[in-house]
Structure 1
Amino acid sequence: MRFETPVALWVRVGAVFAAAVLIWLLLVQGLDLLLPSTGRDLLAHTIRAVSATVLTVAAIALACRFLDRRPWRELQLGPPRAGWRFFLLGMVLWLVPAALGWALCTGLGWARVTVTGDAAEVAASLLALVALVICYEALPEELIFRGYLFRNLAERYRTPVVVVAQAALFTLWALCWGGIDGPVRVLLFFTFGLALGACRAATGTVWTGIGFHTAYQVAAQFFTPGTTPLSDGLSRVEGVEPLSAVAFWALPFALGATAVVLGHRARRRVTGLSAV
């Protein structure tokens, strides 16, 4: 198939950004109007998760065909069959600093966590939560911001500019559909976008960010009361604010992003030396 010249960059970026806002407005506010009795129950969560992935993939496929006018593979997202290593790498990049933050918070008495469910209940809840997080947040958001938008912005701008720009768009997107309710959430989304952008830039694939994104969302939702019905009654957390700020946010975002960038630079130096 022969593809023509892409339309203007700002049209591509603006159209996909607008589509992302509309999709989440539909999923968050539209579903509440259609199914007012579901609230935040498992049915609503599942419908949102499946719909988010389906609508996002459809929107990006249409953008590739009619705006970029080039095949999907040129987005350089990386095939799923080869992406699991990067997915696991992304999870490790979040989990290791998070474990350090967890130890710090509990060791200093800032937080106390008690798992009240049995092992089978906790395992089942975590597996279901992983699936829903991937479908509702990690996969669609990474495809849009660290996939499509990152790749298109990188055609014209240097990597540091692209990382900051996509983080700003990620934050603006959350503001538009109501995912941000204060300055702390603005900072959370922007720094999260920077960390995810660093994962994308350093490894060249969205799968690292999907792993990082999944690890953060699963932990945050499981240990934050009232976030998801899947974890209700399975844990009790005292001091959720310092635990969230230090163990789930500050240390993983800063250290995880730093580690992936330094690791990428070290690998490039070793590759360069071995080629000499």
Structure 2
Amino acid sequence: MVATVGTLLIWLGVTQLSTALWGPEMSLPKHVTNAVGTFALAVPLVLAMCRYLDRRAISSLGLTGGKQAFRDVLYGALTWLIPAAIGMTAGLSFGWLEVRIESSVAEIVGAVLLLVVLVFTYEAFSEELIFRGYIYRNLTTVATPWIAVVVQALLFSTFGTALWVINNGWGVLFERSILFFGMAIVAGCVRLIAGSIWASIGFHLAFQVIMQLFLGSHYANIHVSNESIFILTTAVVAFCAATTIAGMLWREAPNWTKPDSALAETRPRRTTS
């Protein structure tokens, strides 16, 4: 709970600062300010809590390195992109949805690359490190992994919904609480199945980049005929199918039912002078 409250305070402080600097409407300078501010404050906080408060190695958060990290990010992104692409294709084929792209190929590529950097910095890495990294990993020491997935999802939903309600009013309460809880459950399951936080980072990254590319108006000139149908055929379909795709990509049987007693062994030893 302390980590959740601390995270909320960081996000609120940074977003209030960016609003004071750039105004209430989202813009590139505001997005950059949010991304840099939250990353610079949240990531060191989590790493410090892990290393000095819990006295555990940073690797206990599921932060592998090298080729495995790259593979897990890619696979995590595919758990969202594959079902979302299938759902969107069905929506377009049956005439439920129309998408008009008025930007050039170069502009689309540039927008995607920019969004990958901003989303990774502002949302995917920082939020995953906190909720599917630090909080989830601590929960698995005292609870079964599936319970840890549910609890971290409740905390993430509380964090995300509170942030939206404070900034946008109570009208978004139901919609955002359901969205954040569902997304966090799926991301937590992907993280559990993969055994790596990079997998949920990839899932989160793909989800947010596509949503902001198609439904935002700041980075590319793309028009969607019906936003609700677009969300249904992409995000909702992906949320429903992501864990199945994850099970096909990571073949080792995941541990759903046993607390991770081995995590205590990752505590670094104290040295004496």
Q: What is the deviation of 1:105?
A: 1.2
Residue 38 of structure 1 and its aligned partner are, at CA, apart by 7.0
Whole-angstrom distance in 1 between the partners of 2:60 and 2:103 = 46
1:230 aligns with 2:219: yes
Distance (whole Å) between structure 1 residues aligned to residue 212 and residue 66 of structure 2: 25
Q: Offset at 1:241?
A: 1.2
What letter matches 2:138 in structure 1?
N
Does 1:241 find its partner at 2:228?
A: yes
Q: Secondary structure at the match of 2:99?
A: strand
2:158 to 172, 189, 195: 172
2:139 to 153, 162, 167: 153
Distance 1:94 1:76 in 2: 20
- Identical aligned residues as a percent: 32
Shift of 1:178: 2.0
Output one character per residue of 1:16-73: Cα deviation in whole Å (capped at 9) or x when no partner.
111111111112223213x144731111101111222221111112212332023323
Say what the alpha-carbon RMSD is for the aligned residues: 1.9
| Aligned residue in 1 for 2:126 | 140
Query: Whole-Å Cα distance in 2 between the matches of residues 222 and 263 of structure 1?
Result: 26
Q: 5+ unaligned residues in a row in structure 1: which ranges?
A: 1-13, 270-276
Check conservation: 1:16, 1:59, Cα contact below 8 A: no
Mean alpha-carbon deviation: is it higher for 85-94 or for 21-30? Answer: 21-30
Question: How far apart are the structure 2 equivalents of 1:57 and 1:225?
Answer: 26
- Secondary structure of 1:236's aligned partner: strand
Aligned to 1:16: 3
TM-aligned CA deviation for residue 80 of structure 1: 5.3
Deviation at residue 235 of structure 1 after TM alignment: 1.2
Q: Which residue of 2 aligns with 1:188?
A: 179
Equivalent residue, structure 2, for 1:93: 79
What's the TM-score once normalised by structure 1's chain length?
A: 0.84
Q: Please give the secondary structure, in 2, of the residue aligned with 1:85.
A: helix
TM-score by length of 2: 0.85
Question: What secondary structure, in the 3-state scheme, does the structure 2 residue paired with 1:114 have?
Answer: strand
Which structure 1 residue ranges, 4+ long, deviate > 6 Å from structure 2? none
Match of 1:50 in 2: 36
What residue number does 2:242 align with? 256
Alignment correspondent of 1:273: none
Question: Deviation at 1:117?
Answer: 0.8
Corresponding letter in the other structure for 1:250: V
C-alpha distance in 2 between matches for 1:195 and 1:235: 28
Alignment partners' CA distance in 2, 1:141 and 1:103: 30
Q: 2:101 aligns with which of 115, 132, 140?
A: 115
Aligned mates of 1:96, 1:236 — CA distance in 2:
22
Taking the aligned partners of 1:263 and 1:47, their CA distance within structure 2 comes to 36
Identify if the C-alpha distance between structure 1 residues 263 and 87 changes in structure 2 by more than 3 Å, giving closer, same or farther.
Answer: closer
Q: Which moved more, 1:186-195 or 1:80-89?
A: 80-89
Match status 1:83 vs 2:69 = yes
Deviation digits for residues 89-110 of structure 1 (CA, Å, limit 9, x no counterpart): 0111111100111012112211
